[in-house]
Amino acid sequence: MITKEKALLEQCVLPYHNLFQNQMAKTLVENHYRTFESLALKLLEEAMAHASDGLYQWVDEDTNDFSDKSDAKTGTCSPNLSRATGGRVKIDGLVTQAGVEKAGALRVVIFNTCKDGRLDFLCIPKYAWQNRVHICSLNNRGRMNIHYSELKDSYGWADLYRYDSFISMVKSEGKTNRYGRL
């Protein structure tokens, strides 16, 4: 199975980040893949802004990554040992150690190991996630758990905010999902 970082690079960063739109840059990535894997999360943020076609810009602030106040997050759906056919996704860093929450919607890319490393895409408005945050006692930062049902191929409540592709999630503006509503 591929790693989360490799999946992010191949399916989100290389196709949409302006830096990698010529063959010379793609060859550079191929020659230094491990280095680029370590940069995948930051490059993902930039690729989201590039793929938005001007809906928002990358600003990389403490409470938001983008000019529309949304924030990029990634998570890994790992099998949940207490459930025979499901998994759990942890989304960390929703509240800083100083107690400051992220400012807006979360644009989430999930690496689903229950589905052989498939990427899934969510854009969750703040009103839908802010009451689901738990403060982690280890680092005093906010975390949200999302449960995944393999039988239903569903993230439960979060499925309302699920998109069919990276590009539809990136361009969503947090107003509509794959069902045509929020």
Q: Which pLDDT tens digit goes with each residue over 151-167?
A: 999 999 999 999 999 99
Give SS3 for 65: coil
* Contact by Cβ (8 Å): 148, 79: no
Return the DSSP state at 100.
Answer: P
Q: Which pLDDT tens digit goes with each residue over 37-94?
A: 999 999 999 999 999 999 999 998 989 999 999 999 999 999 877 666 789 999 999 9
Residue boundaries of the structural domains of the chain = 4-170
| Assigned token pair, 119 | 């990427």
Look-up: residue for tokens 């056919």? 85
Q: How many CB atoms lie within 10 A of CB 64?
A: 19
Total residues found in the chain within this entry: 182
- As a whole number of angstroms, the distance between CA 20 and CA 22 comes to 6
* Beta-ladder partners of 122: 108, 162
Task: Output the pTM of the full model.
Answer: 0.90
Most confident of the following: 69-73, 98-102, 114-118 = 69-73
- As a whole number of angstroms, the distance between CA 30 and CA 92 comes to 30
